[in-house]
Every structure is written in structure tokens, then in C-alpha cells.
Amino acid sequence: MASSIVFRVSPTYNTISFSSSISNGLPLPSRLSRFHIRPRRKIPTVHAKIREIFMPALSSTMTEGKIVSWVKSEGDVLSKGDSVVVVESDKADMDVETFYDGILAAIVVGEGETAPVGAPIGLLAETEEEVAEAKAKAASSKTGPSSPPPAAPSPPPPSPAPSASSPSPPPQSPSPPPVYDGPRKIVATPYAKKLAKQHKIDIGLIVGTGPFGRITPSDVESAAGIGPSKSSISNVGSANASPSPAPPVAATATAASASPAMPPPIPGSTVVPFTTMQAAVSKNMVESLSVPTFRVGYSVTTDALDALYEKVKPKGVTMTALLAKAAAMALVQHPVVNATCKDGKSFTYNSNINIAVAVAINGGLITPVLQDADKLDLYLLSQKWKELVQKARAKQLQPHEYNSGTFTLSNLGMFGVDRFDAILPPGQGAIMAVGASKPTVVADADRFFSVNSKMLVNMVPSVTCYFFFP
């Protein structure tokens, strides 16, 4: 990607390590001009002095990202390697660094707003003189629609080529004034305020239960519906249902791309926008409809499996690990199921067997991947799984830990579901939906009845497997 940014792990959100920019000291200004500049949009007056900061693609499935926070403010001087903005992708929060020295001239997409991958989110000017020019440019691209460019990569509103020397916009005001509590008498601890901002909860709607009635982090957590106490969910509705005049931009952006003609809302209904993760899951599901799939079911006698499970359970082995291991061993023998059809013309055989397992997390869905599940033993696999789930909860999965799956496992057996169809994630060979194991009366070849435990397994393989079915 030749964009002007690289990604780096932020200490706050951590774990995602992309090519870290090891800056070997201060790049001399003369060297700068050698860097490749990506002229994404042709703007006649710009001679590569004003650079756009693009919404980066932080994972292969990411099509849009939300700005969590701008680390820098307009007017800040940036040097190569500085973190500029924190972006929430569908899977994790990441810092975005600048590749260039310059001045952050304008923020095009504000905090909390969403932009499609590749869209400009800010402008970087090389010198002070260009700041005004960049601001004019930013203003022109902002004035059109009140929201940032829609998800579809539509061209920006035609910018009325700002005259290069235009001094018209007044000199940029100093950095925004520091934040203070409003006049309201709301007492919230620093971390509570941070959490509320993070979970987008209006702190004014939270009832504090801490000392002197102050709002504590756990108050915010319970209002956000996370953490141990889920009793006060009642707050979620009131906190999240934002007043109608300003619907969150994220919602409009995603909704617009999904279905242009929506039925009018039923009076009295409240609109709760998808979180970025929910939007991504929904989008993936829609996408998978375009992949040819078919469904096959088979009921597996699980007496031996159950016996094995009882034996290894005390050693920390979970049913998930057992199923993943079993699937991996079967895939070794049937590589075609582990293959994908990416272009509709060829098979792509995957050299690794990476079992993704669907888990529900904080109102979303993520598929942590057990890499090389065929090669790891059951205990290692179980341990690995435990780590992955913890990381997923903490939103700390690294991209390769959730998007490298070749085969997905979805198990609803623990909820008593006895059969279901799963949706094939894009780019994977197949998904296996596992139901509950139940005692079942069966007749054998000698016409004797017996009661065995049976588990119904539904497979949704992609078109690749179809060719090999008899």
C-alpha cells in the first residue's frame, strides 16, 4: 500500500503490529521529496505539498473505519513516525502514523465519524503557507454533504480549485481550548469519563453509585452493558438512543451503502446504530450470499467423542478444541475442503489448516483462528484457544489472529440447538455448523435398536467442494 501512512501498535490498544516504522532519526527535508506520493485524487493546485492522510485498510475485510480519536490537533507539527490518529477497524483499534513531516492542516473526518478505506481523513501540509490552502480544500470537501463521503467510493464534491496564494481563510486559530466539565454538576472519575467516551455513552444519563454519588468506571461499564454487573441494562437504551436531531454518522454511512430504499421507521421505534464490528459482520454476511454454496448434513455418533472429552476435560481441553482438532485432521485428508475459490476460475489450496471458530463477543461476532490446528496437540490447542478468547474479549486480537482462517467452525450445541446453517465467511473453504449431541434411538444393520449419542453436523462448503462430490 503506497499510502502515506503506516500502522503501528499503540500502547493503549496494543497488539496489532504492522510494519513498524523504525525511524532512523530525523529525515532531512531534502530527502523528503523522494518519497512516493500517492496522487489519489487529482487536484490541480496541489503540487504534492499537501498530502492526504487516508483511511488505512487495517485488515483484509475492512472497508471502512471509524476515527476513535485524533492524537494530533490541527496545526500540530508532525514528524515522520508520529502517531496521528487512532482508527477503529472492524476488529481492533490501531494507531496510524504519518510517513512524512509536515503540519496537520485539516481534519476532514472528525472523531467518532466513519470513512471508507482510502478516503482522505486529514490533510498534511508541508509548510505553514500551505496550511491555509489545505484548510480551504478541506472546507470545500466538507461543506457539501453534512456527513463525510458515503461508503461508496464516490468522488468528492468538485473542489473549486482554490487559488494557490489564497490568503482568504483567517489564520488558523490556536489549538482547541482544553476540555472542561460543563456547568452541570456531574462528578465522574477520570477513567469513568474515558470509558464513557470510548463506549459513546452520555455521562449525563448515568446515575453515579460511587462515593458522594460520583460516577465510577463500573457505573459506566454497567451502563454500557459490559462488565460483571449487567443488571442496569435499562440505562443502555436511554444512553445509546441518541436524540434524533443528530443521528450518528456511522449509522447513516453504513445504512446508506446497505439498502438505499429503507421502509420508514415505525413510530416510537428507536434506532441504535451498529457498532463497527456489528456493521462488519452484517456486511460479511451479505457478501457471502454472492458465493455459491451448498449445504450437506450428517449425524455423527459421538459416544467415543464424549468418552474422550470426559477423559481430557480435567486437563483443560474444551469441546471447541476437540472439534477443531477433529476438523483439522479430516482436512489433512481432504485438502479440497480447505481450498477456496477466490476468482470463480481456480482453486486456491491453502498450505496451512487454520481453523477459525466463531464466538460472540460484546454484541458482535469474531472468529479467532487456531493456526495450524492439525499440527498442534490437543492441549496446546486448548491453551491457545483460551488465549485467543481472552484477547478477543479485550479487543486485542492481531489481524492474523482473526482473518487467517481457512475453515470455520460454529458450535451452538451448548445452547441446545440441534441443527442450524451457518454462513460461509468470504475467502474460506467451508464452515461447519455443529449442533448438540443428543441420545438417539438407532437401528443397526442387524436390526437391533440401541441408543447412541448423535450430533448433527451441517456443512456449508464453497463451490470448490461441489466438484468433488459424487
Partner 1 sequence: MQALISLSTVSPSSPAVARSDRAVGSFSTNASKPSSFRFCGLRREALGLSITKPHGSSRVALSQRRFYKKFSASLKDNGVPSKGFDYDLVIIGAGVGGHGAALHAVEKGLKTAIIEGDVVGGTCVNRGCVPSKALLAVSGRMRELQSEHHLKALGLQVSAAGYDRQGVADHANNLATKIRNNLTNSLKALGVDILSGVGTILGPQKVKYGKVGFSDQVITAKDIIIATGSVPFVPKGIEVDGKTVITSDHALKLEFVPDWIAIVGSGYIGLEFSDVYTALGSEVTFIEALDQLMPGFDPEIGKLAQRVLINPRKIDYHTGVFASKITPAKDGKPVIIELIDAKTKEPRDTLEVDAALIATGRAPYTKGLGLENINVETQRGFVPVDERMRVIDKNGNLVPHVYCIGDANGKMMLAHAASAQGISVVEQVSGKDHVLNHLSIPAACFTHPEISFVGLTEPQARERAEKEGYEISIAKTSFKANTKALAENEGEGLAKLIYRPDNGEILGVHIFGIHAADLIHEASNAITLGTRIQDIKFAVHAHPTLSEVLDELFKLAKVNSSVSSPVNEPVAV
Residues that bind partner 1 (CB under 8 A): 11-12, 14-15, 20-26, 28, 71, 79, 81, 83, 178, 180-181, 187, 189-191, 193-194, 210-212, 214, 217, 387, 394, 396
Report the candidate in 366, 361, 358, 362 with the shortest Cα–Cα distance to residue 280: 366
317: number of Cβ within 10 Å: 21
Q: Which of residues 19 and 244 has its CB atom nearest to partner 1 in the complex? A: 19
Q: Which residues pair with 370 in a beta bridge?
A: 355
To the nearest whole angstrom, how small is the minimum distance from the Cβ of residue 34 to partner 1?
17
To the nearest whole angstrom, how small is the minimum distance from the Cβ of residue 465 to partner 1?
37
To the nearest whole angstrom, how small is the minimum distance from the Cβ of residue 456 to partner 1?
38
Q: Which of residues 210 and 247 has its CB atom nearest to partner 1 in the complex? A: 210
* Cell reading at 85: 490518529
To the nearest whole angstrom, how small is the minimum distance from the Cβ of residue 172 to partner 1?
17
Q: Which of residues 52 and 82 has its CB atom nearest to partner 1 in the complex? A: 82
> In whole angstroms, what is the distance from residue 288 CA to residue 358 CA?
15
CA dihedral 38, 43, 48, 51 (to 10 degrees): -70
Residue type, 103: I
CA dihedral 260, 266, 267, 270 (to 10 degrees): -70
**Chain length of the chain:** 470
Q: Which of residues 100 and 407 has its CB atom nearest to partner 1 in the complex? A: 100
Classify residue 347 as exposed, middle or buried by CB count within 10 Å of its CB (0-12, 13-18, 19+).
middle
To the nearest whole angstrom, how small is the minimum distance from the Cβ of residue 44 to partner 1?
35
To the nearest whole angstrom, how small is the minimum distance from the Cβ of residue 398 to partner 1?
11
Instruction: Return the SS3 of 102.
Output: strand
To the nearest whole angstrom, how small is the minimum distance from the Cβ of residue 278 to partner 1?
25
Q: Which of residues 158 and 174 has its CB atom nearest to partner 1 in the complex? A: 174
Q: Which of residues 71 and 423 has its CB atom nearest to partner 1 in the complex? A: 71
To the nearest whole angstrom, how small is the minimum distance from the Cβ of residue 185 to partner 1?
8
* Cell reading at 25: 532519526
> In whole angstroms, what is the distance from residue 132 CA to residue 150 CA?
26
148 and 124 Cβ atoms separated by less than 8 Å: no
Q: Which of residues 160 and 190 has its CB atom nearest to partner 1 in the complex? A: 190
* Strand positions, DSSP E, 302-406: 340-341, 347-348, 355-357, 359-361, 364-366, 369-370
Q: Please, how many CA atoms are within 13 Å of residue 295, restricted to the half-sphere of its CB?
A: 11
Q: Which of residues 156 and 399 has its CB atom nearest to partner 1 in the complex? A: 399
